[in-house]
Amino acid sequence: MSDSGLTAEWTARISDYPYAHIGVEQMAGAIGAVISGVDIASPATDDVIGEIRQALDDHLVVFFHDQDITPAQQLAFAQRFGKVIDYPLVQGLETCPEVVPVVKLADERVNFGGLWHADTTYLDEPPMGAMLLAKELPPFGGDTIFANQQLAYKTLSHGMQNVLDNLTVIQSSKKAAVTRTREDRLKTSAIGDRAEDGMVAEHPAVIRHPRTGRKALFVNSGHTVRFKEMTEEESQPILDYLYHHQVRPEFTCRFTWRVGAMAFWDNFSSQHNPVNDYHNFKRVMHRVTIGSGRPER
């Protein structure tokens, strides 16, 4: 089947789930949906939480609008989906340490995490997902783009899939490109010496989703250094191809933020890239990270 046929097959698979408690409006053919009918400030029923989890499994990133919530309310909502874990480098809010402010000040030119990546894949147990809430925004710009890594894997040739299915990737927190995107925040809000230590982990190049069993490509330009079974020089041509392939426009959606919007993404099956096009303006987001164990083949 052609790549376009596979993309159409993906869209058809996720378009008709019978939601009874929430509204789900698909954003793009490959990834992303807007959820309505949910007030995060109020405790949700188990049925509502179950349908949000279903929407996340199908769409890989879901968005909520008009959520006027406190850090404690954001944390309580996140805890319904799994164990909340620390972000390994940056301090959380003094009043709610599990909630991490993601800030770009008006005089800064580099945005935190400003490149295509999956979050903290250099950890032995990287997060399953994260929730990011818009608190203060520039008058324009600052969109975030998300890419479907299940579809990225599915559209590879069978030969490439067979190779990658048996490979392991080395992931590092000290890869130069992503390190530069953290410099401003770590000057003021780093946790002890962890930012300088560097963290390294090994993970399968292709992982299976813990709930759906679907395979996803688990390499990313922010943290992947090489394949364990190869040298960096041998790895680089394959990785360069994958970095280009996995963020093809037809695998993506682009979200325009407004204050009170929140994104909840599947970190095992998607990547994201915050667009850095709002110099001279401040942007403040609140992030909560959710863990679920090691990714597996």
Per-residue pLDDT tens digits for 233-242: 999 999 999 9
What is the rounded average pLDDT for all residues in the chain? 91
Residue 185: the pLDDT is: 44
Range of weakest confidence among 5-9, 114-118, 165-169, 253-257: 5-9
239 belongs to a structural domain: yes
> 51: domain CATH number?
3.60.130.10
Segment holding 34, helix H or strand E: strand 33-36
* pLDDT bucket at 89, cuts 50 / 70 / 90: confident
Dihedral sign of CA atoms 151, 157, 160, 166 in order: positive
Residue 112: the pLDDT is: 73
Q: In which domain, by residue range, is 211 found?
A: 3-291
What total of structural domains would you count in the chain? 1
39 is catalytic: no
Please compute the mean of the pLDDT values over residues 14-23 and round it to a whole number.
Answer: 85
297 belongs to a structural domain: no
Choice among 209, 223, 286, 287 that is catalytic: 287
Cβ-in-10-Å burial (0-12, 13-18, 19+) of 207 comes to buried
Q: Please say whether the beta carbons of 30 and 10 come within 8 A.
A: yes
Residue 140: the pLDDT is: 96
**The residue type at 222:** G
272 is catalytic: yes
| pLDDT at residue 225 greater than cutoff 70 | yes
287 is catalytic: yes
Cβ-in-10-Å burial (0-12, 13-18, 19+) of 208 comes to middle
40 belongs to a structural domain: yes
The greatest distance separating any two alpha carbons of the chain, rounded to the nearest whole angstrom, comes to 53
270 belongs to a structural domain: yes
What pLDDT digit, counting tens, does each position of 47-72 carry? Answer: 999 999 999 999 999 999 999 999 99
296 belongs to a structural domain: no
43: Cβ contacts below 8 Å, ≥ 6 apart? 76
Choice among 117, 182, 185, 286 that is catalytic: 117
Choice among 59, 272, 283, 286 that is catalytic: 272
| pLDDT at residue 76 greater than cutoff 90 | yes
50 belongs to a structural domain: yes
Is pTM, for the whole model, over 0.85?
yes
Residue 109: the pLDDT is: 82
Residue 293: the pLDDT is: 86
20 vs 90: which has the higher pLDDT: 20
Residue 12: the pLDDT is: 65
Residue 13: the pLDDT is: 67
Tokens of 278: 């709002």
Residue 177: the pLDDT is: 56
230 belongs to a structural domain: yes
Choice among 58, 59, 119, 209 that is catalytic: 119
* pLDDT bucket at 4, cuts 50 / 70 / 90: low
| pLDDT at residue 192 greater than cutoff 70 | no
133 belongs to a structural domain: yes
